[in-house]
Amino acid sequence: MAPPQSVITNTTASDPLQAQAQRPRLKIHAQGVVGESNESNCSTSYLVISGGTGCNAICAAFARACYVLPVSDDGGSSSEIIRVLGGPSIGDIRSRLVRLIPPAPPGTTSDALRILLGHRLPSGIGGEQRAREEWRSIVEGKSNLWDGIPEDRKEMIRGFLVYFESEILRRAHKNFSFVNGSIGNFLLAAAQSFFRSLPSAIFLFSSITNSQANIVPVIATNHTVTIAAELMDGTHLVGQCEISHPVSRSPSPEDEYPSSLSFDTISPTVISRTQNVHFEVKSKESYERLRAPINRLYYINSYGHEIHPVPTPEYISGVNSHEILVYSCGSLWTSIIPCLALRGVASAIANSHSLRAKVLFLNSKNDRETEGYTAATYIQAIARTLNARYQRDPFGLGPDNAATTYPVSAFVTHLVHLRGCAVHVDVTRASELGVRCIEVESEAREADGIPLYDAACAKNALKQIGELVGLT
C-alpha cells in the first residue's frame, strides 16, 4: 500500500526556488578517486544529519563537516547496554567515530585502533562462553587486538573497559550478555557513564583515535531516549527496531511478564521488554511489511507518554554556522526524522542565514519504513515533520502562539538521486515543491544491481550544488 501524498500548504512564507522550478535535471558522472582533494568541497562547511551506517559510504565527500546523529537506536549491543546500564544509545555515534579514524597503513597505530574499536565479540552457537573468554583476554590486556597500540593509549582504553566491567558486575542480577558486543560501544558507554556526559565521551574517543571528528548527539542527555511511530491506521510501534527491522530477541532475565511484549492500557502502544537485540543486515533486506504507512514519529518517556525534547545547542548553532545542510541517505524515519522532530529545529533550518543549500540524498531503494514511497514522499515527510508543533498547545492568542507553516523549499532545496535507483523520481513534481533534482551515476552496485552511493559521486554532486549556489 503506497502512502498518501501529503500536502504542504505554502501559506506564510515565500518560496525562493519557484523561479527555478522548470529547470532541467542536472546529470553528473562520478569520476576520480575517493581520496582526491577537491578545493570546492574543502572550503565548504557541511552539517550532515544521518544515522550510524547510511552515511559512512560518503563521509569522504565532506572535508569540513559536523555530523548530527540520533541517540535512539535500540538494536545491536546498544540494546544490551541500555537494558543493563541505561543511558542514551551510542551505537550510531560509535559507528561514525570509527569510520572517521584517519586512514592508515596496516600495522600503524590508527589501523590498530580501528580494528580494536570496531571489533565485535563472538556470536552464534556457544557465543556467550566464547564472547566472555575473548572479553576477558581483552580487558586483561592479553589479546592480540592490542598489538600496535602504544602503551599509554592501551592503558587509557583498558581503564575504561575495566570501569565498564565494574558497572556490569554491580548489576550482576541483570545477566549482561557479551554476545556480539562492540568494544567501541563498551568504551563509549563507559566514558559516558564516568563523565556523565555523552559529548565528553565523544571527545575522549576522538582524542584517543586522533580522528578530530565533529560529532554532535542530537539530544544531550544521560537518560535512555525512545522513539515511537504512529501508523496511518492508529497503531503505535515503540523503539527503532520495532519500526525499522524487527528481529528475534532473547527474553530479559528479569522479565516478569509471560510475553516479551506488554501493552499500555491507556493507548495501543507496544512496549518491548527484551535483551540482546542481534541485528543483521539481511533482516532489513527481507522485512515484514508494516500494517500501514508511518504517519509520524515522536519521542516518549519511560511511562509511554509523548514528550518534546530540546535539541543539543551545538546542533542549532551548527545550523546557523554551516553552508550546506545534508540529509544523508539511510533510514528516513529512524535516522533522519528523529533529528528533525524536535523543538526549534524547523525555524532554525528555515531561517538560517548561513545555509546556502539543503540537500536530500535520496535512498536508492525503499525499505520497511518507506515502502511505496516516491522521491516526493520523502521530501514531504521531512517537510511535514518539521512543520509539526513540538510543544504544548498554547492558551489564548498572541504572536508567540502563532504556528508558522514553511514551504517545502525552506527545508529541502536540492534532491540528489542515483541513476537507475529503484525509487521513482518525478522531476516535475519535485520542481513544483521548489526542489531541484540532480542525478548522479555511481559504479558501486548491490548484488541485485541497484546502484549505491560512494564518496566520488557524492562529492561531484556537492561540487555541482556548490557552484549553483555560489560556493566556489
Packed helices 91-99 and 183-195: angle between N→C axes, nearest 10 degrees: 110
- Tallying the residues shown for the chain, one arrives at 472
- Going through 304-361 in order, the beta strands assigned E by DSSP cover 306-307, 324-327, 357-361
Helix H, strand E, coil C: the string for 357-382 is EEEEECCCCCCHHHCCCCHHHHHHHH
3-state SS track over 204-252: HHHHHHCCCCCEEECCCCCCCCEEEEEECCCCEEECHHHHHCCCCCEEC
Closest Cα to residue 49, out of 32, 37, 66?
66
Contact of 316 with 45, CB cutoff 8 Å: no
C-alpha to C-alpha distance for 28 and 44, rounded to whole angstroms: 19
Q: What Cα–Cα distance (Å) separates residue 184 from each residue in 158, 161, 172, 455?
A: 12, 10, 22, 24
Question: For the chain, what is the radius of gyration of the CA atoms?
Answer: 22
Give the type of residue at 138: I
The per-residue pLDDT for range 198-240, each reduced to its tens digit, is 999 999 999 999 987 899 999 999 999 999 999 999 999 999 9
Q: Is the dihedral of CA 267, 268, 269, 275 positive or negative?
A: positive
Closest CA to 113 of 251, 209, 216: 209
At residue 263, the 3 state secondary structure works out as: strand
Residue 245 is predicted with a pLDDT of 83
By CB atoms closer than 10 A (0-12, 13-18, 19+), residue 292 is middle
Phi-psi map region of 70: left, alpha, beta (phi>0 left; psi -120 to 50 alpha): beta
Nearest to 338 by CA among 363, 307, 365, 364: 307
Tens digit of pLDDT at every position of the chain (472 positions): 555 444 444 444 444 444 443 434 444 443 333 333 344 455 899 999 999 888 999 999 998 999 999 999 998 889 999 999 999 999 999 999 999 999 999 999 999 999 999 999 999 888 899 999 999 999 999 999 999 999 999 999 999 999 999 999 999 999 999 999 999 999 999 999 999 999 999 999 999 999 878 999 999 999 999 999 999 999 999 999 999 988 755 544 444 333 333 333 333 444 444 555 554 544 456 678 999 999 999 999 989 999 999 999 999 999 999 999 999 999 999 999 999 999 999 999 999 999 999 999 999 999 999 999 999 999 999 999 999 988 765 555 555 555 678 999 999 999 999 999 999 999 999 999 999 999 999 999 998 899 999 999 999 999 999 999 998 6
Indicate the SS3 state at residue 437: strand
Q: How many CB atoms lie within 10 A of CB 103?
A: 10
Question: What stretch of H or E contains 464?
Answer: helix 455-468
Rounded CA gap, 388 and 405, in Å? 8
